[in-house]
Amino acid sequence: AQSVAQPEDQVNVAEGNPLTVKCTYSVSGNPYLFWYVQYPNRGLQFLLKYITGDNLVKGSYGFEAEFNKSQTSFHLKKPSALVSDSALYFCAVRHHYGGATNKLIFGTGTLLAVQP
Amino acid sequence: DAGITQSPRYKITETGRQVTLMCHQTWSHSYMFWYRQDLGHGLRLIYYSAAADITDKGEVPDGYVVSRSKTENFPLTLESATRSQTSVYFCASSESIRGGNTGELFFGEGSRLTVL
């Protein structure tokens, strides 16, 4: 069965410092991996995705994520955090095989708090 | 260009009452989903639909009913609301992954339901 783990409920970082939000996954075969961000009282917004190709994926708002197949991880990163990056971040996974449904399995979320 | 809209945004009801949450999308996406978001659980899939008149259960379907008579609408009904159904409900849509689409989900703003 597919699953996603976000081991940290909250990540605290000072503005200007690099940030990492961790995600590990379990799926048979090749995964499609996604990161979403949720601001207070809003829906989830798509940040970036890994499908195939380069292990380093770049997305919106300066975020990037590194796919590591051997460690089954897809950590979200940003070189220099902003206070406005403070939000709830979700990692999600889907099977990569033909004829499948579009279902995404989400992690439990990590709250990122960037202190000024 | 709202894309996907949910109504109502906020709803308070009593145990045993029927409640319907509406979801409308303007992209003609074939797939639509209902998730609930609860602290400590992240997002859990309730029901999804691959096309009009095709629906299927997700991870937590008990107590919910869905229908999809038109591609653009996917209402979620709680036939007899319980306190455990107090949650934030998110509707999402995506293109079919057939044809090479990667299937990222686009979310509505959420419906916050409180069952007293």
What is the 3 state secondary structure string of chain B? CCCEEEECCEEEECCCCCEEEEEEECCCCCEEEEEEEECCCEEEEEEEEEECCEEEECCCCCCEEECCCCCCECCEEECCCCHHHCEEEEEEEECCCCCCCCCCCEECCCEEEEEC
Q: Which residue of A has its CA nearest to B101?
A: A102
Whether B102 and chain A come into contact, CB under 8 Å, resolves to yes
Q: What is the pLDDT, as a whole number, of residue A98?
A: 46
Condensed to tens digits (0 to 9), the pLDDT of residues B19-35 reads 999 999 999 899 999 99
Residue from B104, B107, B111, B112 to probe the interface with A (highest A Cβ count within 10 Å): B104
Q: What is the pLDDT, as a whole number, of residue B104?
A: 84
Residue from B33, B107, B109, B111 to probe the interface with A (highest A Cβ count within 10 Å): B107
Percentage of chain B modeled with pLDDT above 70: 94
At A97, is the pLDDT very low, low, confident or very high (cuts 50, 70, 90)?
low
Q: State how far residue A70 is from chain B, nearest Cα, in angstroms.
A: 23
* Average pLDDT score over chain A: 90
Indicate yes or no: CB of B103 within 8 angstroms of CB of A104: yes
At B100, is the pLDDT very low, low, confident or very high (cuts 50, 70, 90)?
low
Indicate yes or no: CB of B107 within 8 angstroms of CB of A45: yes
For A116, the token pair is 């000024």
At A103, is the pLDDT very low, low, confident or very high (cuts 50, 70, 90)?
confident
Residue A65, pLDDT > 80, answer: yes
All residues of chain A having their beta carbon less than 8 Å from the beta carbon of residue B105 are 36, 44, 46, 102, 104
Tell me how many residue pairs between chain A and chain B have CB atoms under 8 A apart: 64
Residue B10, pLDDT > 60, answer: yes
Q: What is the pLDDT, as a whole number, of residue B23?
A: 98
Phi, psi of B79 (to 5 degrees): -70, -35
Q: What is the pLDDT, as a whole number, of residue A41?
A: 86
Percentage of chain A modeled with pLDDT above 90: 73
Residue A99, pLDDT > 80, answer: no
At B2, is the pLDDT very low, low, confident or very high (cuts 50, 70, 90)?
low
Q: What is the pLDDT, as a whole number, of residue A95?
A: 63
For chain A, give the number of residues.
116
Single out the residue of B100, B99, B111 nearest to residue B46, CA to CA: B111
Whether B97 and chain A come into contact, CB under 8 Å, resolves to yes
Q: State how far residue A109 is from chain B, nearest Cα, in angstroms.
A: 6
